Amino acid sequence: MTTVKTLLALPGLRLRVRAGQALLDRPVSRIYVTELPDPGRYVSAGELVLSGLLWWRGPGDSEAFVAALAKAGAVALAASGADSDGIPEDLVEACTRHGIPLLEVPTDLSFSVVTERVVLALAAAAEGARKRLLSAATEDASLETLMERARAEIGLPCWVEPTATATELVRRFVAAGGRSLEADDASVRPVGGRHALPWLLAIGGALTAAQAEIAEELAGLIGLARTRADEVRAVTDRVLEPLLAALDEGSDPHAALTATGLRGDLRVVVARTEGSEAARGILTELLPPGALVGPAGETTWALAEDDGEWPDDWPAAVTAALSTVESLLPCRRVLIGISDRSPVSVLRGAKEVARYALAVAGMRPGTIEVVPGGEIGMHRLLLAGAPDDLRAALRRRVLGPLLTYDAEQGTDLVHTLRVFLECSGSPTRAARALHVHVNTLRYRIGRASELLGTDLTEFTEQLDVYLALSAGS
């Protein structure tokens, strides 16, 4: 990073400090030459302003000039008194008052020489910064260390912004079409690498050309660090595979569970990314630290500890985050099912709950669907564990006469019966839902009772019939 103090040490310039001795650590972004009495509209933050003072006509002229530099964010003024009989005293006073370091340029020194030396110093600093960042990356420095060095080189706050956070910066980046975003308050560019959910490099302010070059280099290096960390994690996560196999095979999972290091209550999560194998990458980003994620594929399983602090709004938060970056996702749909918090003793059942929650997500119309097991009725979870042939046979056994009657008569007593039971057996509510007279509703339910040979006002009979109805959906 090139500072005002750095310029004082450049050979051949012989600059002398006339004001702002305590402000020489400011970083310099570029140099700008002007002779305008009010250059504010043309000066950018971080610039060293070079002037021959041709705008100065007498005492009092310096106030407006220096105030404009301060407002624009100039870091220093380098001035030559060759055409003003030395540096005017009111200029020294104005620079002191507005906090602008004032550097006196020797009268025998050409501005072209000053400009050339400063430009070369800025270019050398940028190249040195890129080399130092590359050195940090090749030394396997942590991401935190890399970001610390980047802040020092760029001279602005720098941080990584995962797109799964759905922050305002992420929204602005998506609105810009997933391309680099430049604004006065922040500069954003995508981190390199092929990842299901990209990271963003955010820098707190507008960038100069030199800073932008360093930022591009940094974005690539962060991508390499992320890829390296993902590869390490993939090896660690392989301890989950024997446990998933044991749950599928019905064998004792305890030995495999011990190898994972997971303790206490757990949640099983499954994701499917239609059209790509991005499920692992998405779960890796969305699940809390410590979760284990299975191998990559269109469908991927994961296991996470739940110590009672799992956020209740996790499904809604995940849906919001993925919906924000929907246009950046490498797949047609993202479907996620999650089990209830479960002790180890029922882990196999928790896996089935997550599996059925995923199936329910697939039946919903959205591009992003996240379904927790707690959203699904008990009867549906119980039916989900039965093979398709068994469910079809049970449905036919209980509802056979009604199904046959509807097929022959062109009626829909099956639908009427389902609405009636879902309205808690209330003829009035069911009639309103079906838009028929209550007497018509009572007649239809009576006819269904006759065909089924059962009393549909009895709770246990209602339960059997409703399970049979649900077995077909």
Per-residue pLDDT at 135 exceeds 70: no
**pLDDT the model gives residue 457:** 77
For residue 236, give the nearest of 317, 294, 277, 161 by alpha carbon: 294
**Which helix (H) or strand (E) element contains residue 60?**
none
**pLDDT the model gives residue 283:** 94
Distance in angstroms between the alpha carbons of the first and the last residue of the chain: 66
Which pTM value belongs to this model? 0.61
Task: Band the pLDDT of 294: cuts 50, 70, 90.
Answer: very high
Q: Strand, coil or helix: what is 66?
A: helix
Q: Which two tokens stand for residue 267?
A: 């949640």
**pLDDT the model gives residue 377:** 57
Longest Cα–Cα distance of the chain, Å, equals 115
DSSP-assigned letters across all residues of 371-427: EEGGGS-HHHHHHHTS-HHHHHHHHHHHHHHHHHHHHHHT--HHHHHHHHHHTTT-H
202-223: average pLDDT: 83
Distances (CA, A) of 350 to 240, 256, 344, 425: 15, 16, 9, 32
Rg of the chain (C-alpha set)? 35
Q: Strand, coil or helix: what is 473?
A: coil
**pLDDT the model gives residue 292:** 94
For the chain, give the percent of residues with pLDDT over 70. 91
Task: Band the pLDDT of 429: cuts 50, 70, 90.
Answer: very high
**pLDDT the model gives residue 129:** 64
140-155: average pLDDT: 77
Residue owning tokens 């690539």: 220
CA distance 417 to 444: 8
pLDDT digits 0-9 by tens, 91-124: 999 999 999 999 999 988 888 888 888 877 776 6
Task: Band the pLDDT of 472: cuts 50, 70, 90.
Answer: low
pLDDT digits 0-9 by tens, 27-80: 888 888 988 999 988 888 888 999 999 999 888 899 999 999 999 889 999 999
Per-residue pLDDT at 380 exceeds 70: no
